[in-house]
Amino acid sequence: MASIDDIVQDYGIVLRAFLLTIELFLVAGLASLVLGVLLAAARVGPIPVLAKAGTVYVAIFRNTPLLVVFIFVFIAMPRLGVNYPFFAKGCIALTVYTAAFVCEAFRSGINSVSLGQAEASRAVGLTFGQSMQHVVLPQALRAVVPPLASVMIALVKNTSIAAAFGLAEATSRMRFFTNNNADDRMLIFLTFAIGYVIIVELVSLGSHGLERRWRVAR
C-alpha cells in the first residue's frame, strides 16, 4: 500500500508531473497568445470576412466545454487521419480553446484605445497592421494585463483535464497516489493543491509586475 511517504520518497515523479503541467501551460499559453492576438486583429480589422470568421471562432470555442475539445482532438482527429503525439494534442486542445478567451481580452483592450489615435496613425500613412503594431497594441497591453492574467490562471487549472487523456501531469499523478491509499487522500490532495497554488501565484506575481512596470512607464 502506498502512503503519504511515497510522495516524499518519489518526489522525482511529482516534480516531473508538475514539470509537464508547466510545459503544457507555457506551450499552450504562448501559442494561444499568438492565435488570440491574430483573432483579435481579425475581429477589429477592416476585412469583413476575417472579422466574421473571428467572431464565429470565438462563439464556437467560448461556448464549447474544454472536455469536448479534448475529445475531438484526441479521438475524432485521429479517426480523420490527423494524429500527433499526446503532448502535442494536449497543447492543441488547450490552445484552440484558450485563444478564444485571449482574443476577447485583447479585443477589450484594443477597444479601450481612443479611436482618434488609430485614425491619426492611418492619416500619416500607416497601414492597418502597422497601426496595430506600433500604436494600438502597445497601449492596449496596459489594459489587457488583468483579464489576460485571469485567462492564463484558468489555463493552468485547465491543464488538469489532460490527465483523462493519458498525459501524466500533476492531476494524473495525484489520482495515482490517491487510488493507492484512500487513508491519505486529504493529505495528497493538499500536497498537489499547494503545487497548483504556487504555479498560479507565480502567474499572478508576473501579471502584477507587468502592471506596475507599465503604470510607471505611462
* pLDDT value, residue 94: 94
Q: How far is CA 136 from CA 47, 103, 105, in A?
A: 18, 15, 14
Q: How many domains does the chain have?
A: 1
As to burial, measured by CB atoms within 10 angstroms (0-12 exposed, 13-18 middle, 19+ buried), residue 186 is: exposed
Q: What is the DSSP string of 7-43?
A: HHHTHHHHHHHHHHHHHHHHHHHHHHHHHHHHHHHHH
Provide CB contacts within 8 A for 64, sequence distance 6+.
97
Distance CA 122, CA 129 (A): 10
* pLDDT value, residue 181: 62
Q: How far is CA 207 from CA 103, 146, 156, 179, 195, in A?
A: 18, 7, 14, 36, 19
Within the chain, which residues score under 50 in pLDDT?
A: 1-3, 216-217
Neighbours of 112 (CB within 10 A): 13
Distance CA 202, CA 196 (A): 10
Average per-residue pLDDT in the chain?
A: 80
* pLDDT value, residue 68: 92
Residue count of the chain, please give it.
Answer: 218
CATH number of the structural domain spanning residue 108: 1.10.3720.10
- pTM for this entry: 0.80
Domain housing 184: 4-217
State pLDDT tens for residues 12-27: 666 777 788 888 899 9
